[in-house]
Every structure is written in C-alpha cells, then in structure tokens.
Structure 1
Amino acid sequence: MREIRTFELEHSEPASAWRAAQPLAVNVLAGELWLTVEGDAEDYWLAAGESFELKRGAVAWLSGGRDGVRLSLTVTGGVGDTVKVERRRAPRWTWMPRWLLTA
C-alpha cells in the first residue's frame, strides 16, 4: 500500500520550501502549481493532470497559481514507504505544515 497526501495552496500563500526525504511524485489535481527545484535553472508551471518527479534530497519551492492549487504527493520509491518531507532552512516567510516537520 502506498501513502498519498493531498494539499491545497491558495494563491495568496507564500511559496513553501520542501525537501524530499525520498523520491516523490508531485501530482496536480486542480488549479496550477508553480514549482522550482534548487540547482535547476528552470521554473515549472504544472496544470491539473500533470506531475513532476522529485529525486530524494531535492529541495523544491511550491506555490499556487491564480486560483490556487490542489496537489498530491506520492512516494515513487517502493511499496510500503511513507511520505516524509524534511524541514529546509528557508526565509522567515516560508510556511510548512507543522506535522510535516521532522526532527
């Protein structure tokens, strides 16, 4: 069984920095997602139905488009893995759900 977590980001929310503790697929369920990965010169705009693979250890910045975004994170590594997102030092205005933080 795989764990899939769903998130919603409003347009007015600041960008969030997330570090993938394991390989993840970011799947856009509704709206638009702005995504950039540290070390990658490109910015990506993903629409509903599109996805992006994050390698283990990747640091990604995510933000919702004009109408916000609903997205899911799915582990792509192996069966029985769980989604873990590690805290990344980021500017003070970056938000991350407390339950996603690891020690």
Structure 2
Amino acid sequence: MREISSDVTFEVPMDRVASVRVTRSTRLTVKCGAVWLTRSDDVADYWLEPGHTLRLRRGERLWIGAEGGKPAWVAFALPVGVRQQMVDVVTRAAARLGVHAGDGWRTV
C-alpha cells in the first residue's frame, strides 16, 4: 500500500490493483489510460478516463486498477493552498537551521 502525502504520478499496471491511502486532501487526475477506482466509505465504483479528476478526502483508502488491457498513469496533486503551507513550513525550518532555502547560499 502506498501513502499519498505529496504530489506524485505513478503507473498502474494492467494486471495489478494498487492500494493507496490518502494522508492529505488530494486531487487525482488520470493522465493516460482508463482506470477503475473503489474508495473506502463509498458504495460506488468509479471509471475514469484521461483528463478526469476526482477529489479525495484525507484518510480515505483507494483501490485502483487499469482498464482496457493496458497500463494507466494517475497523478495525485495537493491543493495549491496546502502545497504552499508545506513549502512555508519547510522554509521556516530551514531558516532555523541556518539554511537559506530561497537563494541556495548559506552564510558561515
């Protein structure tokens, strides 16, 4: 099982089912190929084609499989506000350690 907590794109092989746990609210986008998707706490199954998106809730679990006899590519992306919050947290932590994340230089 993979945990999704940041932006990531991965391949879903045609003969396997990927199990994914969403750790932050995320948006799934099908990049290539068709997929079916089952979500925890949802009685419906979803069939998505390239370009289709689905909002995912924090803590839910997904099972994803490729359709049509060929692999598929799916991308998970955090909402822009969440992504910026993560960057801000990392930047502040780096500054406390004396690393200047913005310019790549550190004064010694």
Greater RCO (Cα-Cα under 8 Å, separation 6 or more): 1
Whichever residue aligns with residue 40 of structure 2, its letter is E
Task: Give the structure 1 partner of residue 20 of structure 2.
Answer: 18
TM-score computed with the length of structure 2 as normaliser: 0.66
Larger proportion of strand: 1
Name which of 56, 60, 75 aligns with 2:78: 75
Aligned length: 79
* Cα deviation 1:43-65 (Å, max 9, x = unaligned): 00000000111100011111111
- The answer on whether the counterparts of 1:75 and 1:81 sit within 8 Å (CA) in structure 2 is no
Task: Give the structure 1 partner of residue 60 of structure 2.
Answer: 58
Q: Indicate the SS of the match to 1:57.
A: coil
Larger proportion of helix: 2
How large is the Cα RMSD of the aligned pairs?
1.7
Shift of residue 18, structure 1, vs aligned partner? 1.1
Q: Aligned partners of 1:10, 1:65: CA distance in 2, in Å?
A: 10
Task: Give the structure 2 partner of residue 92 of structure 1.
Answer: none
Please tell me whether residue 38 in structure 1 is matched to residue 40 in structure 2: yes
Gaps of 5+ in 1: 83-103
Shift of residue 16, structure 1, vs aligned partner? 1.9
Shift of residue 4, structure 1, vs aligned partner? 2.8
